[in-house]
Structure 1
Amino acid sequence: MQELPTLASFKMVLLWQNTKNMMNFMTLITFLLFIMPSISYSQYLGNNILLTNRKIFPKQEPISSYAVVFDAGSTGSRVHVYHFDQNLNLLHVGKDVEFYNKTTPGLSAYADNPKEAAESLIPLLEQAERVVPVNLQPKTPVKLGATAGLRLLDGNSSELILEAVSSLLKKRSTFNVQSDAVGIIDGTQEGSYLWVTINYVLGNLGKDFSETVAVADLGGGSVQMVYAVSREQAKKAPQVPQGEDPYIKKIVLKGKKYYLYVHSYLRFGKEASRAEILKVTNGSPNPCILAGYHGTYTYSGEEYKAFSPASGSNFDECKEIILKALKVNDPCPYGKCSFGGIWNGGGGSGQKTLYVTSSFYYVPTGVNIADPNKPNSKIRIEDLKTGAEQVCKTKYKDAKATYPLIYEDSLPYACLDLIYQYTLFVDGFGLDPLQEITVANQIEYQDALVDAAWPLGNAIEAISSLPKFDPFMYYFI
């Protein structure tokens, strides 16, 4: 006959079971405590320590990254330093959300002295190094993009300058200098980076292409027009001759694919266009020049006679000359062209809202068409014509007192520059004179201002390629 378990034996079984459960529980706790520090370190950076009453943990500081971008333009060199969090949102650099400074002249002014060209960047480089924390500098990408100024140099001058700059950065810089860090960015890159900048700051990235804005940039040597089109419209883009930039640029931003129509018109920036316009009159009086001026205009090593007829400048006569310089009547093999036989992208909802930058901002603000005290203003294209008609009546000797915001060397061309912009928009790009546009030097972002320029777009590309960021959210095809 089997004996019944005693009370004591029941107590022993319960004690053993509780002990086993406690051991399993303690094993679990030990395992969790073991892995927690590694989780903290993998998600956060920094050496600061947070002391609790039970355990010492690393102080949780969000991951952040810096990027340094040099804009080597035709009239000067500029440095931009950006600070991003792990979601590619801009963080403050001091009281602003970017550090910016510039120096003149541009690299192209040192065509005969590449070493001196590179050394002209040292003050800007040193300033950037003071902004980026020392421990993050080796991981901070640095980029230098040369634009139209170097594109227009003869021979191998631009190559020698870029080699000298690359050598300087590798020897002198504490930043991360990749093999492709220094180079001439083509018009397609410059335009698409600017489009990214403007739409990033406005919070449009990740939205449908119809909710983005178009951008146009008037630099010294070239002008760009960029806007997003539908996939169907992108398929209609004509093929370009070998060696030329394609009309469509594909990029993915916040996981959304965009098809950008982008074209850069070399020799039609503000300074370059003056030369093209003076070529038309070829040493004869030019009705785009203010009355009373008689001199020469120098661009890219070439001199052009610049003087007005006895009757002074004239809007209609000047516009006819500009139309010839733009070659608006060149054959258009694609059905819809801008000027010079260039496909215009077909227009559409991606172009309905237009932001214009660089000299598209400086010229109107210089004659008070747009408010010079605001970082951006809305005007109508027609306002450029109204302002030009007034400016063109001014005699050169009175121009400085009348328009004190215009640089002295630009005064003779105040009439020309305004008529050129109006003609470029209406006859070149085919826009309605009554269309409202935003002329922008800077754009509001959170509680600060961001430059309306291509370097931020370049910085986003550089940062998004780092291993810590999701490669499917941002990439440039």
Structure 2
Amino acid sequence: MASRLAGSLALFFLLASIAVLIAVAVVQVHKRTYESAGQRFGIVLDAGSSRTTLYLYQWPAEKENNTGVVSQNLSCLVEGPGISSLGQDSIQDQKTWSSLKNCVAKAREAIPPSLHSNTTISLGATAGMRLLRSQNETASDEILQSLENYLKGLPFSFRNASIISGEEEGLYGWITANYLKGNFLERNLWNLWVRPHGGETIGSMDLGGASTQIAFNTPLDEGVGAEGFIRVWLYGYGYNVYTHSFLCYGKNEAHKRVLAALVLAKKSPSKTVENPCFPVGYRTNMSAADIFGSPCTEQRPVYAPHEQFLLVGTGDPAGCRAVVHTIFDLQSCHGLANCSFNGVYQPALSGHFLAYAGFYHTANALKLNRSFTLDLFNSTTFAFCSKNWTTLTANYEIKEKYLMAHCFSANYVYTLLVEGYKFTAETWNNILFEKTVDKSDIAWSLGYMLTLSNMIPAEPKLLRLPMDNSVFAGLLFMFSSLAILSLMFLIISLVRVCY
């Protein structure tokens, strides 16, 4: 009787010990948690043709699908014109440098001091500097060198200060648009394994001061290795992106080209020039240097740089569109199925597009929301261009230098999108005109930061176990010993019962 009782107790303790061992192991292995390795930061200076903006980005030290999850922490506009104007006016240079240092100070305050040395800082110059380099390579090199020297002296990890190509600018803008729209990160785990070729993406269109870019995803087998097509790999998926940048077709440079066309078309020796894109009642003097001083105005008559022209607005919407049309070479695409303008190859448009920067500002000036029909855009443009200067200034709280150019901008956007990129009344409905998404600016700099994060080694999350290793080992030893002893007593009890 005593042997049976001892055997029952031994069996109970054996089973209990085994159960505890299994429970401890399961908790230690499956209930472990990970503590984030913290945040990392990156600074990108977007040195555009008309202004410079500092962006501060941050992302978790651990990465998702080999690309950092980046968000915008800070945006700071540097006062003054773009960096391509440095060296032309010493007083303005001082203001620009002072404002730049203030923006850097704001970013420095937003980053924990312990992470300063690990924070990358880069400067990317776009079309304004590309134009300057074509005119005066020495001047552009000196500007970049002075900025590089300044950035290297900061307590950050300097990465580079360079002029990015138009294709890079277009690609980074495309990456930004799709990242902010959530097209890279799969939110539904059930669909994680069935997204074909990375899923649906959105095309991007950027209108800056000196250039404009278009970029959109194409079939994987289209244009491989050809000019304008770039293969990229993001968040575990590959994309075949078509991108092209048109230098001298940014809003500011295109406006100069229109003004130059009007001056060149003037038949009288008078210095008065009628401008159908300016509203009736608006008059302004412009020097020959203001109009013909850019490499984008190819035909330069013999004028003294300071010679003045009086531009008088006639408020003619049709006339404005006609003169805008003249700066596009559409004949070179005649008979070609896949061509935008100036003889440039472009695949057929597909899907939705995000139009930002100058596209957004133009639509916003016309008081149009993010999505509208082509007919509404045309009728609104016609109504705006037909208003005189007194009516415009009374109804729009916009600075004069912008307000006087919005009729041109609207007609330019129409010509670029419809005549150039070949949007129809139907596909126009696929365009969204936006400035920000989820409080993040739509700019190439975020796409640059996302791409740059691929070159930053992913840091593992810190493992946090539910119990200390010494406690875990002690529990294993104790209950393993108890299990062994229970098994021995059980065997002894069974032997006594049998005999």
TM-score by length of 1: 0.75
Task: Spell out, residue by residue over 1:11-56, the C-alpha distance to the aligned partner (whole angstroms, 9 max, x if none).
Answer: xxxxxxxxxxxxxx9xxx9xxx9xx9xxx9xx98xxxxxxxxxxxx
| Contact 1:118-1:161 at 8 Å conserved across structures | no
- The 1-side partners of 2:310 and 2:373 are apart by 30
Task: Name the CA distance, whole Å, in 2 between partners of 1:428 and 1:263.
Answer: 12
For 1:333 and 1:469, locate their aligned partners in 2 and report how far apart those are by CA, in whole Å.
Answer: 54
**1:461 alignment partner in structure 2:** 451
Alignment correspondent of 1:21: none
1:439 paired residue number: 433
1:80 corresponds to which residue? 55
Q: Which residue of 2 aligns with 1:251?
A: 232
Q: 1:111 to 1:259 in 2, by over 3 A?
A: farther
Give the 5 Å matches for 1:281-320: 281-282=262-263, 284=266, 285-297=274-286, 298=290, 301=293, 305=309, 307-308=311-312, 312-320=314-322
CA distance in 2, matches of 1:177, 1:124: 16
Contact 1:381 1:425 in 2 (8 A): no
TM-superposition CA deviations, 1:92-145 (whole Å, max 9, x none): 7xxxx4211102222122143798565652111111111111111111111111
Deviation per residue, 1:181-235 (Å, 9 max, x gap): 1111111111111111111111112653661000101111111110011122223
Alpha carbons of 1:209 and 1:314: their partners in 2 closer, same or farther (altered >3 Å)?
farther
SS in 2 for 1:258: strand
Post-superposition offset of 1:333: 9.0
Are positions 1:142 and 2:121 aligned together? yes
AA in 2 matched with 1:261: Y
Q: Which whole-Å CA distance do the structure 2 matches of 1:111 and 1:68 have between them?
A: 25
Q: Write the letter of the residue equivalent to 1:426.
A: V
2:421 counterpart (429, 437, 452): 429
- Aligned residue identity for 2:41: Y
Do structure 1's residue 110 and structure 2's residue 91 form an aligned pair?
A: no
Q: Secondary structure at the match of 1:231?
A: coil
Determine the structure 2 residue equivalent to 1:473. none
Matches of 1:210 and 1:338, distance apart in 2: 26
Query: Partner amino acid for 1:110?
Result: L
CA distance 1:268–1:296, shift in 2 (3 Å):
farther
For residue 221 of structure 2, the aligned residue among 219, 223, 232 is 232
Instruction: Name the SS for the 1:271 alignment partner.
Output: helix
Question: Which residue of structure 1 lines up, in the alignment, with residue 151 of structure 2?
Answer: 169
Q: State the AA in 1 paired with 2:145.
A: E
Task: Report what 1:393 is aligned to.
Answer: 386
State the 1:327 CA deviation. Answer: 1.7
**Counterpart position of 1:418:** 410
Amino acid in the other structure paired with 1:415? C
Q: How does 1:14-93 map to 2 (within 5 A)?
A: 60-85=35-60, 86-87=62-63, 90=69
Q: Is the 8 A contact 1:290 1:414 kept in 2?
A: no
5+ residue gaps, structure 2, are 1-20, 186-194, 267-273, 295-304, 461-499
1:242 is matched with which residue?
Answer: none
Q: Which has the larger radius of gyration?
A: 2
Give the match's secondary structure for 1:102: strand
My pick for the range that moved more, 318-327 or 115-124, is 115-124
Task: Name the Cα RMSD after superposition.
Answer: 3.2
Alpha-carbon separation, structure 1, partners of 2:97 and 2:162: 13
Of the two structures, which has the highest relative contact order with CA contacts closer than 8 Å and spacing of 6 or more? 2
Q: Partner letter of residue 108 of structure 1? A: S
Give the drift of 1:330.
2.8
SS of the aligned residue for 2:221 comes to: helix
**CA separation of 1:469 and 1:321: change in aligned 2, threshold 3 A:** farther
Q: Taking structure 1 as reference, are residues 76 and 299 closer, same or farther at Cα in structure 2, changes over 3 Å only?
A: farther
Partner secondary structure for residue 440 of structure 2? strand
Query: What secondary structure does 1:233 align onto?
Result: coil
Q: Distance in 1 between matches of 2:436 and 2:240?
A: 25
Amino acid at match of 2:344: I
2:358 counterpart residue number: 359
**Residue pair 2:260, 2:291 contacting (<8 A) in 1 also:** no
Say which SS state the counterpart of residue 87 (structure 1) adopts.
coil
Residues of 1 paired with 2:443 and 2:87: CA distance?
Answer: 25
Task: State the shift of 1:313 in Å.
Answer: 2.2
Q: How far, CA to CA, are the matches of 1:233 and 1:411 in structure 2?
A: 42
**Deviation of residue 393 (structure 1)?**
0.8
- Which residue, out of 174, 177, 184, partners 1:195? 174
Residues 300 and 76 of structure 1: CA distance in aligned 2, closer, same or farther (over 3 Å): farther
Deviates more, 1:77-86 or 1:97-106: 97-106
Residues 272, 61 of structure 1: CA spacing in aligned structure 2 closer, same or farther, 3 A cutoff?
A: same
Alignment size in residue pairs: 393
Contact 1:65 1:463 (C-alpha < 8 Å) held by counterparts: no
Structure 1 stretches of 4+ with a deviation exceeding 6 A read none
Secondary structure at the aligned position of 1:67 is classed as: strand
Percent of aligned positions that are identical: 24
Q: Please state which structure has a larger fraction of its residues in helix.
A: 2
* 8 A Cα contact 1:278 1:305, kept in partner: no
Distance 1:333 1:185 in 2: 33
**TM-fit CA distance, 1:458:** 0.9
**Distance across 1 between alignment mates of 2:312 and 2:422:** 29
Describe the shift of the 1:188–1:429 C-alpha distance in structure 2 as closer, same or farther (beyond 3 A): same
Contact 1:217/1:358 (<8 A) preserved: yes
SS, match of residue 282 in structure 1: helix
- Alignment gaps of 5+ in structure 1: 1-24, 45-59, 238-245, 371-376, 471-477
